[in-house]
A and B are shown apart, each in its own frame.
Chain A
Amino acid sequence: MNLPKLYRTTAVRLALRYALVYALMLGLALAAFYWYSSRYVDSQLEAGLEQELRALTELFETGGMVGLAQAVRQRMQDGLHEGRFYALVSPAGEVLAGNLFEWPAGESVSLDAKVHRTWIEDDTMVGHLYDDDAYVPVVAREFPDGSRLLLAAGVEQAEALHEITEFLIEVLGVSVVLALIMSVILGRTILARMDTISRTAGDIMAGDLSQRVPVSGHNDEFDALAKRLNTMLDRIQQLIKGIREVTDNVAHDLRSPLSRLCNRLEVTLLEPRSEPEYREAISGGIEDAKALIKTFNAMLGIAQAEAGNHRTQWGRVDLNRLAVDLTDLYQPAARHKGQKLELTTRGSAEITGSRELLAQAIGNLLDNAIKYTPAGSGIRLEVKPSDAVAEVRVSDSGPGIPASERDHVLARFVRLDSSRHTPGNGLGLSLVQAVARLHKAELVLGDAGPGLLVSLRFPRHAVE
């Protein structure tokens, strides 16, 4: 176990801080308890001592010194001294009765019949009841004949208080240690979970984007975090894959027209040519370059639709109106190819989206239908709104796409072998797909029996 690392975890630091505060509070409570209870015990002791002194003083007043000495001795014999120490000494200092061997030496004992803490040496006491020399509550007085009486508090009550306090200090110690152990366990658990996330992040940084944070199945906040992170990673991986595809495809699809353009110009320069020949070569080059720009812009359009960041220009788009405008634009081209483009709309079909991108997507579908359907066939553009979705369908009676290849054609630059001879860059459907995804629409390629049916189902409400 790595202690410095453990200490750096928030959980351990928090736990340690709580343990410290807890120990401090408990210590304060303990000190207060000790102070108040020892004061209480002391006042009880003091009251007892003063009361005993008054009782013995009364005995002296009725029975004189002899009676007093007798009473003290009697208390020793009967064991009635209740843990107190007595010393009755003659004016000469000789002990007349009691369980102290001598009048305490050292510090002078004040004789004002009030309790004072006084230094008593251990060996002056019978039975050595105190473990050591100590300050002890003491009350003493002098009688008119010069003899003196001293009472000192016993030890039991004070000892009991000490024991309770010591026990409480032990409890405090044990609970602080327990808190420390708990914090370490807590810290290790959290560290272990964090480490798995951190390790995954490390693997991803090392280049393995397919790594995912393990989900423990406890459904706790760590699982929630892990799931969130994994969703984020999925999206990032998807975006990176998209970017990678774009660069691959740029390399692939722009390379051949670029080298064609370059070769054409180089070959033209090889030997002197007539002006019409130069013109021919240059305008050929310009056509190549324009085709490149077209492909390039189509790819940028897809990338932008996929990045999905033109939301600020979104608004309500009337799909019926858009369909009318697009039919209007494409109708002559279809008729030119001997095809019939028919538009069917029913009911209002407004959705929230980008007119620009939607026009481009539906336009691409019409482009494809016109391009890949033979002369004499029909093309239908339909807008079919229902409660939940607004559906745009483009169907043709051309050759269609075999079911097995329908997923495949959505990939960028894919052109089926059967369409190699028609011009195009294979980007049309990927743009449709990107626009559909951006609008949370469902893109389905189906069978128009015969022909291809492409359906875009837009949710009518709540596109974020």
Chain B
Amino acid sequence: MMHILLIEDDIQAAEYLVKGLGECGHVVDHAADGEGGLHLALTGQYEVIVVDRMLPGRDGLSIIRLLRADRNQTPALVLSALGEVDDRVAGLHAGGDDYLVKPYAFSELLARLDALSRRNHPAMQEQRLRVGDLVVDRQSQMVTRANKRIRLQPREFRLLEYLMRNAGRVVTRTMLLEHVWDFHFDPQTNVIDVQISRLRSKIDKGFALPLLHTVRGAGYKLSESP
């Protein structure tokens, strides 16, 4: 369960987001304009803030800037209808932690919010990541499953490392493309699916319990239970 602040002036979109996020077990406060949103953000305790870029009264980026100036480091996801490369960079510069362009799929938003929440995230500097009997040593880049050494290429290692850091959460194909390859476009072919199936054949093949799961319509999840 996450406590989420949603600042979005499109009332209909906000309603279904509140409903959808609520059904996924989160508690959502909604503000329909910039000033109200800023007030809630400054006074409430939230795990993630979702803010639309263009708002009546005060634009989304200035809300994030004011929060950061107030030493409020609550992770913020910027929603935008603009979607140019420059806008994403501007959003991240203002202190936003992620950026999503409209139109987007709900599953994409949900996965990104999950990833943004700092709870249950292993610390960045933690040396060993573990899911079940799969262990990744970040320093020596050694991967073992049931104490058996698994050889991965550098990119496969980064892919697995990202999945491990988000263990138990759904990660989408675009999130993988962004974090593992640093590409922000949408490939027309199933390149990510093929990458995942190659990784899966290395870490799951020959083991009774699969760890790398496909979540239909959303993405992938690394966990002991599907």
Contacts and interface: CB of A to CB of B under 8 A. Distances in A.
A329 B183 contact: yes
B149 interface: no
A239 interface: no
Contacts of B187: 329, 363, 367
Given A329-B191, A336-B194, A359 B185 contact: yes
Contacts of B216: 283
Contact of B198 (A293, A296, A332): A332
Contacts of A370: 189
Contacts of A286: 105, 217
A330 B188 contact: no
A356 B87 CA distance: 13
Given A283-B217, A290-B105, A371-B189, A333 B194 contact: yes
Interface residues of B, number: 28
A192 B46 CA distance: 70
A300 B83 contact: yes
A356 B185 contact: yes
Nearest to A424: B188
A210 interface: no
A222 B190 CA distance: 57
A294 interface: yes
B185 A325 contact: no
A354 interface: yes
A312 B155 contact: no
A166 B83 CA distance: 80
Interface in A319-378: 325, 328-330, 332-333, 335-336, 354, 356-357, 359-360, 363-364, 367, 370-371
A364 B86 contact: no
A423 B217 CA distance: 18
B189 A329 contact: no
Contacts of A304: 83-85
A310 B191 contact: no
A37 interface: no
Contacts of A297: 83, 101, 103, 186
Most buried by A among B101, B186, B190: B186
B181 interface: yes
A428 B194 CA distance: 20
A293 B85 contact: no
Contact of A354 (B85, B103, B155, B188): B85
Interface in B14-43: none
A340 to B, nearest CB: 15
Given A293-B103, A356-B183, 13 more contacts: A301-B185, A310-B85, A313-B86, A313-B89, A332-B194, A335-B194, A356-B184, A360-B185, A363-B183, A363-B187, A370-B189, A424-B188, A428-B188
9 contacts: A294-B188, A298-B186, A330-B191, A336-B197, A359-B183, A363-B183, A363-B187, A370-B189, A371-B188
